[in-house]
């Protein structure tokens, strides 16, 4: 089977594999080359695959869609990280999410500053237009 894991900005995995194991809402499942074609939504978890050479690799997936069509397995997800073992994968995921958390904090701070500046501008404009008309 040909496994491709697609992210918005890159192809994370493009390999010939013997077996794919993943997790959907109704539980974990395994795919072998002669399994029936299907589509499923993946939940956040670990996808693993055995390469044609027999090496097992793990991929942390943050939701996504898996499509098996013939001998091709396509996984589309917004975020994923790959590791040779679960320990290294855990470290990679922690580093990635720490970076994402830091970026999110910076973005929230910038939005707060923009909102505060916008509100100050509205108050200044509102203050001059709220004066009582002379009679």
CATH of the domain at 59: 2.60.15.10
Predicted pLDDT of residue 74? 97
Confidence category of residue 111, pLDDT binned at 50, 70, 90: confident
Same domain, 48 and 71: yes
Residue 49 within a domain: yes
Residue 36 within a domain: yes
Residue 135 within a domain: no
Q: How many domains does the chain have?
A: 2
Nearest Cα residue to 84 out of 22, 25, 18, 13 = 13
Percent share of the chain, pLDDT over 90:
50
The answer on pLDDT for 115 being more than 70 is: yes
Most confident stretch, 7-16, 106-115, 123-132: 7-16
Q: Does residue 132 sit in helix, strand or coil? A: coil
Asked if 6 contacts 76 with a C-beta cutoff of 8 angstroms, the reply is yes
Residue 22 within a domain: yes
Residue 70 within a domain: yes
Predicted pLDDT of residue 88? 72
> Cα separations (Å) of 1 from 69, 71, 79?
10, 5, 23
Same domain, 25 and 66: yes
Nearest Cα residue to 101 out of 116, 117, 79 = 79
Same domain, 73 and 30: yes
Residue 101 within a domain: yes
What pTM was computed for the model? 0.67
Confidence category of residue 135, pLDDT binned at 50, 70, 90: low
Written as six digits, the tokens of 79 are 């975020």
Q: How far is CA 19 from the centre of its chain?
A: 22
The overall longest dimension of the chain from CA atoms, in Å, is: 91
Same domain, 10 and 64: yes
Quote the domain boundaries for residue 49. 2-84
Same domain, 120 and 61: no
Same domain, 12 and 58: yes
pLDDT tens-digit series, residues 58-108: 998 888 999 999 999 999 999 888 887 777 777 767 667 666 666 667 777
Give alpha helix (H) positions in the chain: 86-129
Same domain, 64 and 38: yes
């Amino acid at each position: 089977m040909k496994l491709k894991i697609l992210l918005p900005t890159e192809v994370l995995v493009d390999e010939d594999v013997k077996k794919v194991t993943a997790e959907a809402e109704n539980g974990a499942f395994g795919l072998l080359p002669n399994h029936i074609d299907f589509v499923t939504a993946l939940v956040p978890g670990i996808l693993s695959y055995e390469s044609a050479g027999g090496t097992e690799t793990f991929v942390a997936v943050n939701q996504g869609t898996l499509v098996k069509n013939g001998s091709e397995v396509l996984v589309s997800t917004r975020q994923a990280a790959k590791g040779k073992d679960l320990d290294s994968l855990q470290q990679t995921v922690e580093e990635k999410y720490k970076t994402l958390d830091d970026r999110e904090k910076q973005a929230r701070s910038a939005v707060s500053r923009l909102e505060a500046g916008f509100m100050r501008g509205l108050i200044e404009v509102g203050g001059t237009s709220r004066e009582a008309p002379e009679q």
